[in-house]
Structure 1
């Protein structure tokens, strides 16, 4: 799968950002591989985020190595949607910024 060119992307950077549902994310990294704007990183879940999850979701994270996707460069997103379609857990949605 090739990354779209900037002409194919739907928005200017920062209008739409990816939102990761940490209850669904298993940190497999498909989003990281397909994102042409380097929006994502896969790393150990932050302690505060981990504590905010219910018992069942915390156990699921332990099984999957405590890794999740974060979006430190979310303002670079151009809304191509590749991350949404690539995520096997359907843990990513695109949302308009406020």
Structure 2
């Protein structure tokens, strides 16, 4: 199965919980400000992501999703 990691940068308030809890250090805060004035998170090292969904679980704003993608 293949998975896709999706971050809603406009919903993210840049609290950093997902960054702190990611076991593979995949996530980092960006230097770009979103419309609400926050520095959202992004996948700095997507190839290291193990799709454990800890980031999704700890995100208080439900800004992160991991979804299954179809492989053909």
Which bracket does the TM-score occupy, shorter chain normalised? 0.7 to 0.9
CA distance, structure 1, for counterparts of residue 43 and residue 20 of structure 2: 13
RMSD: 2.1
* Higher fraction of helix: 1
CA shift for structure 1 position 74: 1.2
The match for 2:6 among 19, 30, 48 is 19
Task: Mark the structure with the bigger radius of gyration.
Answer: 1
CA distance, structure 1, for counterparts of residue 28 and residue 18 of structure 2: 9
Consecutive unaligned residues of structure 1, counting only runs of 5 or more, are: 1-10, 51-57
**Which segments of structure 1 move beyond 6 Å, counting only runs of 4 or more?**
none
TM (normalized to structure 2)? 0.80
How many matched pairs?
Answer: 70
The match for 1:70 among 39, 42, 48 is 42
Consecutive unaligned residues of structure 2, counting only runs of 5 or more, are: none
